[in-house]
Structure 1
Amino acid sequence: MLNIVDVFSGAGGLTEGFRNRDYYNFICHIEMDKDACSSLKLRNIYHYLKEQNNLSLYFEYIQGKISKNDLYSIVPNDITKDILNKEISEETISSIFEFIDQRLGDKALDGIIGGPPCQAYSTIGRVSNKSKKSTDKRIYLYKHYLDFINKYKPKFFIFENVKGLLSFKDITGELLLPKIIDEFTKCGYRVDYKVINASDYGVVQKRERLILIGYRKDLALNDSFFDYLKEYVESPPTIKELFEDLPSIKSGRESNKYRGNYTSKFIGKYIRNKSDILTQYIARPHNENDLQIYKLVLKAKKKGRNLKYIDIPDELRTHSNTTSFLDRYKALDYNSVSHTIVAHISKDGHYYIHPDLRQNRSITVREAARIQGFPDNFYFEHSRTAAFRQIGNAVPPILSMKLSKAIIRFLKSDKHTT
């Protein structure tokens, strides 16, 4: 059993894949966003009630039949006590260590998983963010990750971030990633890294992320972690297969009933159990102008073309900017996987237009969650905006589960234990 901590947890996409009591014991989850912490707590409750064979109470809550107070009153307090809602900073790091130490007791911490917020390293908006670089604290949040490594000396860590970190330069104009790796190395770790596309591991989305794996130098691990991960490669289904059992709804409408039973093996394996219920399937209301644009964008998509903003008729354009952000409207393709789900989906759905022309809308929270690899019984607190933000910031749980399995096999290859 490996004792692990999840830092910068978000709603728990990375956590979800490591929820395997045969191999992992979560000491705590640390997250600054209150909404994400609420989702983490609710997910803890889901897994507790599942073990108690009493999920009916959970389903009653997410359908709005009982209150949060009612739900929490029947669950032991310690079920949600491992979630710390606190920003990781110079001012809070000592109190966070106290929290972890109290929960650890005399046990050793074996692993740290997580990744600092990635917006600072993203290639999107890099030019406009250049002027903020000298004051952007997010650039150096990785140093707090180092604080955890230095204090607890775990056997391994997983550091997940955007592909843009490969090319990101710090305020001195030098590449940051080699510096990060050098600092991990000085802490006593060997570090390997690779850009992973989630779609290669069964996620219905082209999502490239940089994965750094570190392990203590005293461990006799001569193999590559990524050789173990490669064994979990899996072809994803199409969007059409992913959405096959979801009902047809139009802009501003909602549904809480599935279209029917699913036939997809993928949905049965990762997305939905026979006892699950449909929630958070509410389509955003769109104005008539946007609906007209959606139709044009989707018709172009079906002909194999992504319609640029400058190609939209003048009478439908509401923005004067015709030189940048020209792909602000984008449709999904039924016969392929999705493009990357990002947190901006919380602001509008223009970049994620549903592939069915008859529905003519952007995707729902539940559809976005499925694309990200969350099961239907995962409920996101509180608002629709908060839910979309949590989904866009998450590590796909399907990928996370495969990372967790590969870690176990990788650590078992330690020559000292054979």
Structure 2
Amino acid sequence: MSLDDGNGRPRFESVASIERDEHSHRTLHLRHFLRTFPDGFPEDYYDYLKGNLSLEELYSRFPENRSHADATALRISLGPESHTTVRRTISAKLKGKHKWALVGGPPCQAYSLVGRSRMMGDPDFATDARHRLYQEYLKIIIDHAPPVFVMENVKGLLSSKIDGKLTIDLILADLARPTEAVDGGATGLGYRLFSLSEAEIPGPDADPRMFLVRAEDFGVPQARHRMFIVGIREDVPVSPGRLKRHKSPTLRQTIESLPSIRSGLSKAADSFEAWVKEIDGFDPESVRQRLNGHASTGDLFDAVSSEIVRVPPGKLSRRSAIYPARPAFQHPALDYIYDRHLDTLDGHEARTHMASDLRRYAFAASFALITGKSPKLADFPEELLPKHHNVELGREGKMFSDRFRVQLPDQPSTTITSHISKDGHYFIHYDPLQSRSLTVREAARLQTFPDNYKFLGTRTAQYHQVGNAVPPYLANQIAAVIAEVLDAMRDGDT
């Protein structure tokens, strides 16, 4: 957890972080390295971001700091085969400390709504081991009996079922009595479970929806809804506080200061001129005919005509490393994101798209600009419709009718998911002149990652890391709640 004491000194020390994915682990390792500099990142790190140093050169200048990261950012795949290693590693790191917290989220593919829809035709779905991978988390609780734990997972837990029973009810019962859940034993280890967003103390019959945290209610510019369950060991006579609600910035207020860039062309030679030609490659009159009678027909006709791409040649490039000024809108989440020491922008490069998708993006963003809402497939002119076999079902509103979703500027974004790594159709930038999906840096800002946060790996891997994360600004607030619990513990609460 990233939280300071008000004087820039960290409240928590990450003694062990476990990650199985190669690219995510490299990113985690870099952040553990940087956390060893409590008075601020070294200038060498900013030189690395500018490309003046390689990562290996950066590490070589601070061997002790690198060694600390090597020892605390661990690449391990949780499972029966690694259980003994994980148990011994955590025990060695804790060194008998009794004021600490376990934070994590078990793999959630089988819990998520999308994951289940993909697997419903699989006869082995009901016995898929991923349903019960959260038991590996339980085993860590049993092994080390943390005074406090925080478990995060997807909203799909609320509707997921195993053998006809709600998954969330099974998980809550198991978290309250982890030893009984894993091996049927009764060691006396038990936990009281709390919500971070609701004041009611959960009981056996509590509505599990009280564990749902809506990030936009706590200053995050994104409608991200996730389950957070706080467990306090029964012998610890402390109850956690609640997150304090405050309004979030809008998407526009969060990313508007980033430089305008254009999308790139895939499957064709890319240039600004070719990009302009392709976007302008459909007949605006057909748009007028398709939208005849629509309340905004005239405005839309103008917006999707050739005026949309009348920008001076060369004005828009596919990437920009120019670090902008602090966002004009004042908000603590934006202060959290901005780094006054930065002078280069990382991760702000547009992906390439097929020419047909560029035209769809230009139309969709124009539609949103004029109407204030993202278009459904039924709103698209016929010539802009994708050549998919289920497109007519989409036009009828029966499935994937919002296949192309514009992120509306004057409200929080929709949930940034790992799906953003696929094609970007659900994450279209609101500016028609740019005709593109969100960049890694824009997605990272909507997740409230600091601008100095470097994601390692391929761009696809970077999108995955952003989409799978807990928003750091929200995590910071959760850390403050947990710190208060640990501070309130008596020395005898062991």
- Superposition pairs of residues 207-246 of structure 1, within 5 angstroms: 207-221=224-238, 223=239, 225=240, 228-230=241-243, 232-246=244-258
Shift in Å at residue 315 of structure 1?
2.9
Q: Structure 1 108/206 Cα, relative in aligned 2: closer, same or farther at 3 Å?
A: same
Residues 205 and 337 of structure 1 are in contact (CA less than 8 Å); yes or no, is this contact kept in structure 2? Answer: yes
User: Identity of aligned pairs, percent?
Assistant: 35
For 1:321, the equivalent position in structure 2 comes to: 390
- Give a deviation string over 1:145-184, Cα, whole Å, max 9, x none: 10011010010100011111012101x1211211111122
* 2:87 counterpart of 1:124: no
Give the residue type in structure 2 aligned to 1:79: H
Q: Distance in 1 between matches of 2:117 and 2:41?
A: 52
Shift in Å at residue 279 of structure 1?
0.8
Unaligned runs of 5+ in 1: 1-14
Q: Distance in 2 between matches of 1:244 and 1:315?
A: 31
Q: Distance in 1 between matches of 2:320 and 2:51?
A: 14
Q: Distance in 2 between matches of 1:129 and 1:17?
A: 39
Residues 45 and 79 of structure 1 are in contact (CA less than 8 Å); yes or no, is this contact kept in structure 2? Answer: yes
Q: Structure 1 264/45 Cα, relative in aligned 2: closer, same or farther at 3 Å?
A: farther
Q: Distance in 1 between matches of 2:334 and 2:115?
A: 38
For 1:344, the equivalent position in structure 2 comes to: 419
Of 222, 234, 237 in structure 2, the residue corresponding to residue 205 of structure 1 is 222
For 2:44, the equivalent position in structure 1 comes to: 57
- Give a deviation string over 1:354-385, Cα, whole Å, max 9, x none: 11111111111000000001010001001111
Residues 337 and 448 of structure 2 are in contact (CA less than 8 Å); yes or no, is this contact kept in structure 1? Answer: yes
Give the residue type in structure 1 aligned to 2:14: F
Residues 57 and 71 of structure 1 are in contact (CA less than 8 Å); yes or no, is this contact kept in structure 2? Answer: yes
- Where 1:278 maps in the other structure, the secondary structure is coil
For 2:24, the equivalent position in structure 1 comes to: 36
For 2:193, the equivalent position in structure 1 comes to: 191
Of 178, 182, 185 in structure 1, the residue corresponding to residue 173 of structure 2 is 182
For 2:354, the equivalent position in structure 1 comes to: 287
* 2:159 counterpart of 1:167: yes
Structure number with the bigger relative contact order (C-alpha 8 A, sep ≥ 6) is 1
Q: Distance in 1 between matches of 2:167 and 2:492?
A: 35
Q: Distance in 2 between matches of 1:207 and 1:54?
A: 30
* 2:410 counterpart of 1:335: yes
Which is further off, 111-120 or 377-386? Answer: 111-120
Residues 229 and 402 of structure 1 are in contact (CA less than 8 Å); yes or no, is this contact kept in structure 2? Answer: no
Shift in Å at residue 22 of structure 1?
4.8
Residues 2 and 12 of structure 2 are in contact (CA less than 8 Å); yes or no, is this contact kept in structure 1? Answer: no
Of 5, 10, 13 in structure 2, the residue corresponding to residue 25 of structure 1 is 13
For 2:339, the equivalent position in structure 1 comes to: 273
Q: Distance in 2 between matches of 1:163 and 1:351?
A: 19
Give the residue type in structure 2 aligned to 1:318: K
- Where 1:274 maps in the other structure, the secondary structure is coil
For 2:437, the equivalent position in structure 1 comes to: 362
For 1:74, the equivalent position in structure 2 comes to: 61
Q: Structure 1 218/261 Cα, relative in aligned 2: closer, same or farther at 3 Å?
A: closer
Q: Distance in 2 between matches of 1:74 and 1:332?
A: 42
Larger radius of gyration: 2
Which is further off, 322-331 or 151-160? Answer: 322-331
Q: Distance in 1 between matches of 2:339 and 2:18?
A: 29
- Where 1:318 maps in the other structure, the secondary structure is coil
Unaligned runs of 5+ in 2: 179-189, 196-210, 265-317, 394-398
